[in-house]
Structure 1
């Protein structure tokens, strides 16, 4: 165990603080003054897992995915200039999607020469960029440490704030003297490495639980909408137990997909423009909504379509750990503040033997709305696989508990609509910021957070090109994962949105499998459903990283799978017809 004395630097104190995190893991690359913290972590290798990445955005997306999968903070650590300049993708996703993350970076400010325009200076002022201001714009909170004590305490506070209320990314920017200077004798009594900095979690009073339960008992057609805030394993278990106990149907938001198994008789599917008509119909017909870990945002509610969700005609019970999220997007009749794992069991007890006839309601609506219907087989003569069939085949051929990550673009929409999740399975997508290049590093993180489950990244050829360095990290670290690439040689969503005037959306034909093989992956190419099924089976047997390039067509698009309530997309070009 490293002892902090007057001979210790601020960087050594930060290393010890990180080692005290809950199952600490660091994704990053040494650079700038953070090299001092990495040096300190050399002495904590028995307790801190450190993963070297090839580029900063890989670190931030891995940390975002890890945080969402575990509910714990992962640490991103690298030179501040390039965590900002290259790593913003994962930080913004964590900020908009509510994933905990701690970012430890330096400003490389130049010390006593910072006012004379040194190389890479980032502490603001003339001739420098303003790293604190920039990070404040894309994080939940940003701290600036200027001495060794602040370096330690702000690292500890970052972990606290990242998990407090709605989770999010919190940055600590270190001035060089905060890491290089040593502690004084007066400093040492101010440092507590074994103390508990967490805050008590708010709990809803019993009177509020009773009032909400009374409203649910008085309703005729209650339904649950589960969001990303119900994602943790314990939350999913509480949700399943509650729904089954009272026979209440469950729909999910896009971000909440896989919080409830979609093959369950109470499952309604995903609401929204690209989800399922079954979900939209059941939610629209309901007279009471139990919103679990969702803000009921405008995207999920189809531009706040009152035919789907309406505070005027439906009673809304909202459960959230963040008080500001309750009643954020519309007034709610009953706001229940607290963890899903606390509120739902208490609500369960208050409802006693209530049964809402959910199974029969779901079965009736499924008959008229084609819930996960049979899809036409791909046409062999086309030498391509229908992307919707690809998504369905993945759901049939992968293990039930596979972790599937998606990229931005149509690949995400096809998985959202046609991949049917099962109990134990997890599906992640960039549902906050929606950046391309997410799927591969997100799946890579899953090999660390959930090593006993197969991690599968589904991406288009555009996102694949943006994350090749993630494959290098996977190979270097001997990670078992499957990467499925929908190769249609285009930016599919944009091309379909442009209609009759496609522009700057077509890619040249590259040997994507050859690129993967050169990196060290097992590369497989599929041009038919039979080859796809065989490729999945082979990947499941492999011990390393497998890249499955699937040639897909353009006959299906986000336009062909819109739900009946769907709104227009901001990436659709208006008609030029007169």
Structure 2
């Protein structure tokens, strides 16, 4: 047997460089490259291998470990999970900085490969710098923290262990149902240890991602649900995008006259002006979609994991005897809400169900006029909010309207947390698939800038906009510098509303007067953060990094800044001053936020009682 003597780190990179996937006969190189920040735990192992023998893998220097994993996650999302980046760090704090982003990838069913350095396998220099010592179990290291947030975890303590671990890693990374973060912890001495690897370990591997077809029996069970269904409603989730099923979704809805609503991950599967697209569903949903959900007798969830936002904490579907049909490649998601599971690839499942319902002559009972009225109600509401003026300054909804109407319809917007996801879900008018990139599975503050960089890596020919609040930007903006370093332009649209206003509003809606969420100076009079707003010059900060920057306080200034930003060839930031509290609020939807049963405040007690009443109305599943 022919062998090649390599270090474990060199062998890992050589293996990753030869991995391909095949979807519908189209072959794609799976691992684009490695993002990393070097330290003593990886610089002379993985770092040496990247320097001397990277093959075709590109290396991108991250500026914050969490930020670079967000970028890798966004890259995978924007490529429909067809390509990934690996991310490497040192041990200790460098590794642990990636844990939050690992959870973000796993919750969102997105593949990312994490390669943190780890303690010496030999233990000769223990405790090494940054080593976590767990006195009762010396096999525990900081990298064990990745276990609950990884779909696969392994520690490569001997170089020959790499072979089985690498194959298992690829199994998970390429599995549409089970994918997420994969962590291979790499002890720093084992990275540099050599082994005679079989040459065929480095042969080109093509991982065929076959579309899972539905069984005939499952199609018949699903079709039987339509026998009595007069008012079905489709909920389009992220699985529609990952299965490239947007066209099939539109054909299905049109053939049977079924309206559709969108989750955050599913948004842009149908264009906003499609006659059957009723907009967002759930807590951040449209009035039209939420009313249709309340009256629906059959919910058809396609590629959704049914988060509490989608189901309005299980209060959205209130029709007596409502049934749920779940088309999902993931069996766990297909079993949710006590539904009937149609476990299959979304595109295959839609096509098979379409054929079966057509053979049975099925049609929903909605009239064209009724659906047109529902859509018109919401379109007019969006028009109103996009045009709404505030005497105090630029409102958040007005700013979003200007942006939506000014940037190209092919542009990609990226967002993740705060009040902006709710407004975007309700109001943003997407015309093309994959132009709405929202991380709302984990709602991870700090994803936006790194995510926009990842999207720009994936789609260099499109304009990419990070829509981010000031609170999220302050948490993590480091990959703005990386975008400049890599000459991958993105535009950061920073909404400055003086703090964590989303949670500030949530507080005040549940009995609080508002506490600890605005960026104010501490007041000598109250001893609390109730002084003046802190003046922060975000545009100057961006310029100091080398980005172009503009400021906007009016709709006209914002429109002009967007036009100027489009002309820039480097990453750009627009600082947009918006009036706090000028976003949208719930449209007949509820989100469960538990309120104290006992308090010195009557407002809190009243909020608790209101919460209890809503809990009694919610479903158990």
TM-score relative to the length of structure 1: 0.90
1:304 aligns with 2:317: no
State the match for 2:590 in structure 1: 566
Q: For the Cα contact (< 8 Å) 1:254–1:272, is it kept in 2?
A: no
State the match for 2:566 in structure 1: 540
Offset, 1:568: 5.0
State the match for 2:257 in structure 1: 247
Offset, 1:577: 3.5
State the match for 1:351 in structure 2: 357
Offset, 1:320: 0.8
Structure-2 change in CA distance of 1:424 and 1:550 (3 Å): same
Q: For the Cα contact (< 8 Å) 1:4–1:13, is it kept in 2?
A: no
Offset, 1:195: 3.7
CA distance in 2, matches of 1:531, 1:39: 49
CA distance in 2, matches of 1:43, 1:158: 24
CA distance in 1, matches of 2:536, 2:507: 24
Structure-2 change in CA distance of 1:45 and 1:146 (3 Å): closer
Q: For the Cα contact (< 8 Å) 2:271–2:431, is it kept in 1?
A: yes
State the match for 1:77 in structure 2: 88
State the match for 2:454 in structure 1: 445
State the match for 2:518 in structure 1: 505
CA distance in 1, matches of 2:117, 2:355: 50
CA deviation vs aligned residue, 1:204-234 (integer Å, no higher than 9, x gap): 2123223323433552222210112222371
Q: For the Cα contact (< 8 Å) 1:225–1:253, is it kept in 2?
A: yes
CA distance in 2, matches of 1:304, 1:378: 32
Q: For the Cα contact (< 8 Å) 2:103–2:150, is it kept in 1?
A: yes
The more displaced of 248-257 and 32-41 is 32-41
State the match for 1:19 in structure 2: 17
CA distance in 2, matches of 1:408, 1:570: 20
State the secondary structure of the residue aligned to 1:191: helix
Structure-2 change in CA distance of 1:344 and 1:374 (3 Å): same
CA deviation vs aligned residue, 1:168-227 (integer Å, no higher than 9, x gap): 11101122343222113xx52783533456676643212322332343355222221011
Q: For the Cα contact (< 8 Å) 1:249–1:359, is it kept in 2?
A: no
1:332 aligns with 2:339: yes
TM-score relative to the length of structure 2: 0.84
1:193 aligns with 2:206: no
CA distance in 1, matches of 2:77, 2:86: 13
CA distance in 2, matches of 1:425, 1:362: 26
CA distance in 2, matches of 1:359, 1:403: 32
Q: For the Cα contact (< 8 Å) 1:109–1:120, is it kept in 2?
A: no
Of 244, 250, 268, the residue aligned with 1:234 is 244
Offset, 1:416: 1.9
State the match for 2:23 in structure 1: none
Aligned pairs for 1:357-376 within 5 A = 359-368=368-377, 371-375=381-385
CA distance in 1, matches of 2:258, 2:418: 33
CA distance in 1, matches of 2:463, 2:334: 35
Structure-2 change in CA distance of 1:337 and 1:123 (3 Å): farther
Offset, 1:93: 1.0
Structure-2 change in CA distance of 1:41 and 1:247 (3 Å): farther
Offset, 1:455: 0.9
1:109 aligns with 2:120: yes
State the match for 1:525 in structure 2: 551
State the match for 1:169 in structure 2: 181
CA distance in 1, matches of 2:394, 2:226: 46
CA distance in 2, matches of 1:481, 1:511: 20
State the match for 2:67 in structure 1: 58
CA distance in 2, matches of 1:556, 1:572: 27
The more displaced of 28-37 and 517-526 is 28-37
1:457 aligns with 2:482: no
Where structure 2 has 5 or more consecutive residues not aligned to the other structure, the ranges are 21-28, 521-533, 604-621
The more displaced of 134-143 and 196-205 is 196-205
Q: For the Cα contact (< 8 Å) 1:60–1:88, is it kept in 2?
A: no
Q: For the Cα contact (< 8 Å) 1:13–1:152, is it kept in 2?
A: no
1:159 aligns with 2:170: yes
Q: For the Cα contact (< 8 Å) 1:498–1:572, is it kept in 2?
A: no
State the match for 1:259 in structure 2: 269
Aligned residues: 566
Q: For the Cα contact (< 8 Å) 1:27–1:51, is it kept in 2?
A: yes
Structure-2 change in CA distance of 1:360 and 1:210 (3 Å): farther
CA distance in 2, matches of 1:425, 1:176: 39
Offset, 1:309: 5.6
CA distance in 2, matches of 1:504, 1:555: 13
State the match for 2:147 in structure 1: 136
Offset, 1:315: 2.4
Of 421, 425, 428, the residue aligned with 2:430 is 421
Q: For the Cα contact (< 8 Å) 1:230–1:340, is it kept in 2?
A: yes
1:179 aligns with 2:191: yes
What do you get for the CA RMSD once the two structures are aligned? 2.8
CA distance in 1, matches of 2:243, 2:343: 19
CA distance in 2, matches of 1:571, 1:293: 32
1:314 aligns with 2:322: yes
CA distance in 2, matches of 1:53, 1:285: 49
State the match for 1:469 in structure 2: 478
State the match for 2:98 in structure 1: 87
Q: For the Cα contact (< 8 Å) 2:111–2:180, is it kept in 1?
A: yes
CA distance in 2, matches of 1:411, 1:368: 22
Structure-2 change in CA distance of 1:524 and 1:157 (3 Å): same
CA distance in 2, matches of 1:247, 1:572: 45
Where structure 1 has 5 or more consecutive residues not aligned to the other structure, the ranges are none
State the secondary structure of the residue aligned to 1:536: helix
